Amino acid sequence: MHSDVEADGISQWVNKTVNAYMIHPDVEADGISQWVNKTVNAYIMHSDVEADGISQWVNKTVFAYMIHPDVEAESIFQWVNKTINAYMIHPDVEADSISQWVNKTVFAYMIHPDVEAEGISQWVNKTVFAYMIHPDVEAESISQWVNKTINAYMIHPDVEADGISKWVNKTVNAYLMHSDVEADGISQWVNKTVNAYMIHPDVEADGISQWVNKTVNAYIMHSDVEADGISQWVNKTVNAYMMHTDVEADGLSQLVNKTVNAYIMHSDVEADGISQWVNKTVNAHVMHAIV
């Protein structure tokens, strides 16, 4: 990645992309799958895999593991393990990188009603340990919190995919773009936000949705909205690095490869070596019954 491109830029780009492709209720499973294809083509990180090859692989993977209702939670969990092993558990992953990855992950395979509560709970437990930054939160507490949250907001049929996506946008918008929010501050802010918006039963999905619409419109989409200087920063970043029409999928792929090498994998692991490393990791961690 260009040294002058911060992780926040990617995160906001993902937010904008998600807002454009995934929030509209007219985007069915097929639409999501197309969006995933585009996303994976942009940052799947295998420099030796051509865009066409990735597209085929994504079609096969997405249709086989993520969207079809005949896919059990166990299969999704294995796929998630592989993903997490590939780019989440390394201490050199910055908070922003993890957050944007969570954005992508949540939109890609957590909002599907065919994912059982148990599978999501396990995945969230593992994910929370990897990205939550809360050293004072014990495993037991996280598990209870996750169960409560999932049961209340993610599994119930009255919570539409749009609601979840908007909530994630809201959370990311609130703590991901502010360069003056340190890791410790994020932890406190997240606790406060979660307690106020996610756990209390008096916060309905509709209310959150309206608030998020207002927030998203104000902070992300409208170029003429100042919103604490965030809009200026977003416009500058997006216009300068992400949204130019001269950035093709191949260019993005290369840029992400560089980013992944710099932020996620150990610096001594080249793109070609990533595949071997993932195989080794998957064999060691993914197939064990305890996972």
The predicted pLDDT at position 188 comes to: 40
Residues 92-108: tens digit of each pLDDT: 333 334 344 444 444 33
| pLDDT at residue 142 in the model | 38
Q: Are 237 and 12 in contact (CB under 8 A)?
A: yes
For the chain, the domains span 7-286
The contacts of residue 125 (CB under 8 Å, 6+ apart) are 139, 142, 143, 146
pTM of the model: 0.15
Measured CA to CA, the distance from residue 209 to residue 224 in angstroms comes to 22
Do 245 and 238 contact (CB within 8 A), yes or no? no
| pLDDT value for 167 | 42
pLDDT for 239 equals 34
Q: Where does the pLDDT of residue 44 fall: very low under 50, low under 70, confident under 90, or very high at 90 and above? A: very low
Cβ atoms < 10 Å from Cβ of 233: 18
Tokens of 22: 């995934």
Higher pLDDT, 48 or 61: 61
| Number of C-beta neighbours around residue 79 at 10 A | 19
Q: What is the CA radius of gyration of the chain?
A: 18
User: How much is the pLDDT for 68?
Assistant: 33
pLDDT digit string (tens) for 128-148? 333 333 333 333 343 444 444
